[in-house]
Structures are given as C-alpha cells and as structure tokens.
Amino acid sequence: MHDDPRFGRFFVYLSLFTSAMLGLVVSDNLLSVFIFWELMGFCSYSLIGFYYEKEGAGNASMKAFMTTRVGDVFFLLGICAIWSVVGSVSFVDIYNAIGDGKFNNLYAIGIPLATLAGFSIFLGTVGKSAQFPLQVWLPDAMWGPTPCSALIHAATMVAAGVYLSLRMYPLMEIGHLTTLIAYIGAITAFGAATIALVQTDIKAVLAFSTISQLGYMVIGIGVGNYNASFMHLITHAVFKACLFLSAGSVIHSIHEQQMPKMGGLRKKLPYTFFAMLLCCFAIAGVPFFSGFVSKDRILGDALYMAMHSPVYIPVAILGFGGALLTAFYMFRMLFLTFFGEPRDHHIYDHAHEEHISWNSNVPLLILAVFTLGIFYSGSFTGQGEVKLFGEKYEWFQTLIQKPEAKNLAHFKDYKKEEFGFEDTRVKDGWVKAAYDPNYGLPEEEAHHVHVAHKIGAAMSVVIAFLGIFIAYLMYITKSMNPARWTETFSGWTKALHNKYYFDDLYINKLIQGAMLPFNNFLSWLDMGVYDRFVVDGWEKVNRVAYKMARWFDDNVVDSGMVDGTGASVRLMNVVLRTVQSGKVQMYFIILIVVLASYVWTLTV
C-alpha cells in the first residue's frame, strides 16, 4: 500500500467510511441509518475504484454502486411507508407502533403495509449484503485494495445490511416475511458456496465465502434466531477480516493472486499460515471455534423449524449443504496456498521471508486469537448444553435481546432522558429476555428445541470434518482427482465459473436487452418530442413574447418615459435658461411684474 499512488486519499476514504459505520451503529432512527448507509456506499464505490487506472476497477466500482442503488431505492421507499404509518422514523417509535398494532389492517395495493414496508427494507439488506438477486457486485468489489476488502466488503459494510434487518426484525415478523428471508438467505448461502468451489483467485474465494456467510446471517433472521444472526455477524467479521488480511499478506509476499501458482508457502509465511488456519477452522465450523458456535446456532434453529414445518426443509438442507461446501472450499484454499510442493518455483523463490511485525502479521494473530469460540459463548455449542463455565456462560445472548412483536409494548415506558441512568422500562419482559436456555418455552416444548439443536450440532461437526476430509483427499493425498469431477460435471463447472450467468443475465439481457431499448425510447421521447415540440415550441412562444416586450420597451419605456423625462427636463431648461439671463434689468422687470400682480391680487 505504501508505494501506491494516492496513499492519503485511501485513508481519507477509509476514515470517512469508518465514521459513517460508527454513525450507522449509533443511529436511533431509519433516516440517519439511510444517510450513513449511503455514505458507506459512496466510500465503498470510491475504494473499489481506487486503482482506477485499471478498467476493471472502474467498472467494478460502477457495478457495485449501481447494484446497491437498486436496494437503496427500495429501502427509502420502505422508510416512506413506515413514516406514513408511524409518523416517525425512530426505532423506538416504530417498535411502539408495532406493539400498539398500528400496522394491523393496513393495506397498500392489496398487500399488507407491514409486508410491503418490511420487504422494501429487506431489499435494502439484499443490495447491501449482496443477497441472492443482487449478489453480483461483491465479487467484483475485490478490485479494491485488500485492507478495504477486509474492512468494508467482509467485516462491516456488508454486515450493515444484516444489521438493518435485525433492527427491523419486529417489522419482518409482523409482515410474515421470515420465510422469504430464510429462503433468500439459504439460496445465497448455498449458491455462493458452490461458486467458491471453482474460484482460483484467492480473494475471489473469500468474496464468495463472504456472500455465503452473509446468507447464513440472513437465514438466522429468517428462522427467528435473532441473537445467533447477530453473533454470526460478529464472529464472521472477525474471522473474515483475518482471512482477508492473511490473503493480503500472501499476495503482498508473492505478488500473485492465483492459487494454482502458489503452494508450499507454509514454510515461507508461518505466521500468516497459523492465522489463516485458525480462521479456516472457525469458518468451517470446527468445534471450539467461533464459527461453530454461531453457525451451529443458526443451523440448529433452521433444523428445528424444518422439523415443525415442511416449508423450512429446503432451508435446512441448503444450510447444511452450504456448511459442507464451506468447509471444503476453505480448506481447498488453505491446502492450495500453503501445502504441497511449490507449483511455480520462480514465484516461490522470490517470496519474501516473513518476519513478525506490527505492520503485517501481529494484527492477524490478534484477530486469529479471537476466532476461538470461548470469546462468544461459554458453552460448547452456544446452546448451553455443555457448559464450560459456571452461571454466566451465555454472556452474548444475555447482552443482545430480541425485540419481539409480542413484547414490544414494553417500549412504551421507555424514557429517553432517563435511559442510561435508570431503566424505566417494565421489567418482566426483559427479565424473560435475559438468557434462558428454554427460550421462554414450556419444558415440554423446549425439549424438542434442545433435541433439534443437539442433532444440528452433531451434524455440523460431522459436516465440517467431512468437508475438510474431502479437501484433504483431493489436494494433499491426491487420492481424489478434482479434474475428474470438473470433467464429469463440465456443464456445472462452466456455470460456476460464470457465476450462474448472473452477470450475463444482468448486463447482456437486462441492461443491454431491456434497459437499453427503454433508454433509447426515453432518449427519443426526450429529443424527438420534448425537445422538438415542447422546448422548441416554448422557444417560439418566448420569441413572440420577446418581440412584444421589446416593442413595449422601445416605444413606451424608452421613448415615452425615459426620453420623455429627458425632453421635459430639456424644455424646462429652455424656460429657466431664458429667465436666468444674467441681465439685471430683466430680473428687475420680472420682480416688478410679480410684485405688481401680487399687489393686484391682494386688492382685487
């Protein structure tokens, strides 16, 4: 980075981004969230296009900006819809309104207004968090510098979308959008994981894995596990930032992003390898790592929902399938990069030997330490089954409480000025919201939940190790040949390389095929109709009006009034000049005449 041009500009954008992110998190209303949201969008745009000498970077920044714009427009519409009902955009007022049932029996074009508003806001999430229909921009966002990929496109900004949906969770709940959200999340999680299987660029793998993990967070919202979604947001932020920085460290060391040219870097980059290994364990869902705790909670709830209603079965299947693929592609990346024989000796020999330094690998190691599950949950799976500590074993779940529509009436007693000093809210609902292994359910029902979670945890462990094992067979022992698989499924491989043809669909079909003719029509309408008839016609009207105005100005104002004033002054001047002749006798005559006439008027 240091040798790059525009070094200062990079930090300006990054600082602006950080302040916008902080602003978004401290905002207590949707409008300021939207403002900071857009600010982040701008910073993301500027940073993706940071190396604008490259054409790809410019196009990628444009693509990211325009794609997220689709979601943002809907987000704004959602804010308008909420404001029309609640009369406020503050979160507390919205919760109050939902608790009071203000959204009941309100319809817009035949759809419940809560659904419409919730869906619009969720589309904002879809755009920002790169969910299923609008996921195309995030892989291209890796054109930006690696630190900004780690910070913005893995840890913070994309999580802002999930954060928004979490803040608006009660609205999603009363809008009956949770099933849709779960499906979108499941499709994204699985689809992005499949694309990541065939990527050879180390950052592209991470980009798709980010989309996939965001999909898991969205599943978490969809299956109603608010807290797990939040936890996954944070654990993912940590391990994905670490993964991106590790990838950046590798790229910095060998000046190469293509994994087929790497290999055997374990000896050259031991600290980076260690950090990446820990993060890969975390993202794959190996027990005792953060990813296991949070992802297992999401998948456990998905499984529980699937057991209760068949609608959620595809969600659970896609979720577990995605977890298998995640474990596989992450270790594929790790094995290709760090294990085996160096595939390109020129690159390997020129790789910088790694020394421990504050600038490159100490931050990685710090982040790697925080991928341990113990920082997020004191129990084995995050469900409270196997307790590692005494009473306070689920501090994360105690801290972050789910605002449920049925409990929202408690917000009524919320007093802003007192909040923070003395909690004036009604206590009952909140005491219940504090961590309860039974989720406030009766013992009988809670038993089913626990069973589901235990099965889920067991499946997660099996799946994680299975994925790692397959990767081990393919890339370390070479007992399975990946090439045979790609040949057998060549059609699929091609589709995966083309990211399921979404870019083609959007750019060639939608933009070139549909939007461009529409654009041409609009331009014809503008140039041929508005310009020709309205603008030019208005010009003719103006021309006549101008002639009339000019005539009036010339004849009445100029000749009559301005020149008339001059002429009258001139006339007066002639009279007065004649009077003031300088001839004393004339003055005297005038004096006499005036006096005489005065005397005459007095007498007569």
Partner 1 sequence: MISLGSYLAISFALFICGVAVMIARKNIIAILLGIELILNSAALNFVAYTKFVNNNIDGHIMSLFIIVIAACEAAVGLGIVIRFFQLRESVHVDDAAQLQN
Q: Closest distance between partner 1 and the C-beta of residue 587, in Å?
A: 11
Q: Which is nearer to partner 1, 561 or 589 (CB)?
A: 589
CB atoms within 10 A of CB 196: 27
Tokens of 493: 């491989």
Q: Which is nearer to partner 1, 390 or 582 (CB)?
A: 582
- Residues 479-518 contacting partner 1, CB under 8 A: none
Which listed range, 24-32, 92-100, 216-224, 583-591, lies at the site for partner 1 (CB under 8 A)?
A: 583-591
Q: Closest distance between partner 1 and the C-beta of residue 585, in Å?
A: 6
Task: Verify binding: residue 597, partner 1, rule CB under 8 A.
Answer: no
Amino acid at 109: I
Tokens of 528: 């041929």
Task: Verify binding: residue 583, partner 1, rule CB under 8 A.
Answer: yes
Q: According to CB under 8 A, which one of 588, 590, 594, 599 is a site residue for partner 1?
A: 588
* Site size with partner 1, rule: CB under 8 A: 8
Q: Which is nearer to partner 1, 359 or 585 (CB)?
A: 585
Q: Closest distance between partner 1 and the C-beta of residue 573, in Å?
A: 17
Cβ 388 vs Cβ 378: under 8 Å: yes
Binding mask 543-582 for partner 1 (x = CB under 8 A): --------------------------------------xx
Those residues with Cβ within 8 angstroms of residue 257's Cβ, 6 or more apart along the chain or in another chain:
201, 202, 203, 251
Task: Verify binding: residue 431, partner 1, rule CB under 8 A.
Answer: no
Task: Verify binding: residue 584, partner 1, rule CB under 8 A.
Answer: yes
Q: Closest distance between partner 1 and the C-beta of residue 575, in Å?
A: 18
CB atoms within 10 A of CB 418: 12
Beta-ladder partners of 201: 258
**How far is the C-alpha of 403 from the C-alpha of 430, rounded, in Å?**
10
How would DSSP label each residue in 535-593? Answer: IHHHHHHHHHHHHHHHHIIIIIIIIIIIHHHHHHHHHHHHHHHHH--S-HHHHHHHHHH
Task: Verify binding: residue 25, partner 1, rule CB under 8 A.
Answer: no
**How far is the C-alpha of 129 from the C-alpha of 127, rounded, in Å?**
6
Q: Which is nearer to partner 1, 569 or 584 (CB)?
A: 584
Q: According to CB under 8 A, which one of 359, 477, 578, 585 is a site residue for partner 1?
A: 585
439 φ/ψ angles, rounded to the nearest 5 degrees: 55, 35
CB atoms within 10 A of CB 579: 10
Length of the chain, in residues:
604
Q: Closest distance between partner 1 and the C-beta of residue 581, in Å?
A: 6
Q: Which is nearer to partner 1, 420 or 582 (CB)?
A: 582
- Residues 382-401 contacting partner 1, CB under 8 A: none
Q: Which is nearer to partner 1, 541 or 592 (CB)?
A: 592
Task: Verify binding: residue 589, partner 1, rule CB under 8 A.
Answer: yes
Q: Closest distance between partner 1 and the C-beta of residue 570, in Å?
A: 22
**How far is the C-alpha of 37 from the C-alpha of 69, rounded, in Å?**
11
Tokens of 143: 């054109």
Q: Which is nearer to partner 1, 424 or 580 (CB)?
A: 580
**How far is the C-alpha of 361 from the C-alpha of 253, rounded, in Å?**
12
Q: Which of 461, 443, 246 is nearest to 373 (CA)?
A: 461
Q: Which is nearer to partner 1, 559 or 580 (CB)?
A: 580
3-state secondary structure of 339: coil
3-state secondary structure of 263: coil
Q: Which is nearer to partner 1, 109 or 576 (CB)?
A: 576
Q: Closest distance between partner 1 and the C-beta of residue 584, in Å?
A: 6
Q: Which is nearer to partner 1, 1 or 595 (CB)?
A: 595
CA-to-CA separations, 22 to 32, 69, 102, 323, in angstroms, rounded: 11, 21, 31, 31
Q: According to CB under 8 A, which one of 561, 592, 593, 594 is a site residue for partner 1?
A: 592
CB atoms within 10 A of CB 523: 10
Q: Closest distance between partner 1 and the C-beta of residue 589, in Å?
A: 6
Applying CB under 8 A, the residues found at the interface with partner 1 are 581-585, 588-589, 592
